[in-house]
């Protein structure tokens, strides 16, 4: 019998697998710590709010302040949790991505139009286009990413500000800017 030669790529593949495991562990450790911090903060604000309600000692300004803190923490909680859910989905369902030929300008424009319809003059949304950007994209994931970027821009742009959204063909890079 002839012995098959050893696979010369085996050490590199084993190293890459070890590196992948290490990166995953670091990501999970950091995400877990962030989630614990957010959970503790939300729990604390909720307990404080309940105490004020039980004692009937809360005024409108204090209620507004506590509500704003809770809303910020819930958004931060979501920002931490969503990437974990995506990683989990891709790990257990590698077929979760559905790449199809799409124009990023068209896809971005459809997401922006949803926001534009809901705005009440507080912000101006401008889509900067320099022609189509064709490629194979997962429409749901790209839409979610654009939506998250626009949502954050709306959250942190002062009322009356302008938010510009663009996709550049040269690098197929999206950008969101505000003033």
CA dihedral 68, 70, 74, 80 (to 10 degrees): 100
- Under 8 Å CB-to-CB from 112, ≥6 apart: which residues? 125, 127, 146, 150, 165
What string of pLDDT tens digits covers the 179 residues of the chain?
555 556 556 665 565 566 666 677 777 777 777 777 777 877 877 887 777 777 777 788 888 888 888 888 888 887 777 777 777 777 777 677 788 999 988 888 888 888 776 676 677 788 777 788 888 888 888 888 888 888 878 777 887 888 888 887 765 555 555 56
Report how far residue 164's alpha carbon sits from residue 176's, in angstroms, rounded to the nearest whole number: 6
């Amino acid at each position: 019998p002839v012995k098959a030669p050893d696979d010369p790529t085996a050490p590199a593949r084993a190293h890459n697998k070890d590196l992948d495991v290490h990166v995953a562990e670091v990501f999970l450790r950091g995400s877990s710590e962030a989630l614990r911090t957010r959970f503790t903060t939300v729990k604390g604000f909720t307990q404080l709010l309940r105490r004020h309600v039980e004692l009937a000692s809360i005024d409108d300004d204090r209620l507004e302040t506590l509500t704003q803190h809770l809303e910020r923490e819930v958004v931060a909680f979501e920002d931490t949790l969503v990437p974990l859910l995506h990683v989990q989905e891709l790990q257990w369902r590698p077929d979760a991505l559905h790449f199809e030929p799409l124009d990023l300008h068209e896809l971005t424009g459809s997401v922006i139009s949803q926001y534009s319809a809901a705005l009440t003059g507080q912000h101006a949304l401008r889509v900067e286009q320099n022609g189509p950007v064709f490629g194979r994209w997962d429409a749901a994931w790209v839409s979610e990413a654009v939506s998250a970027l626009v949502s954050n821009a709306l959250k942190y742009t002062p009322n009356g500000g302008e938010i510009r959204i663009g996709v550049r063909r040269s690098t197929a890079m999206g950008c969101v800017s505000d003033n």
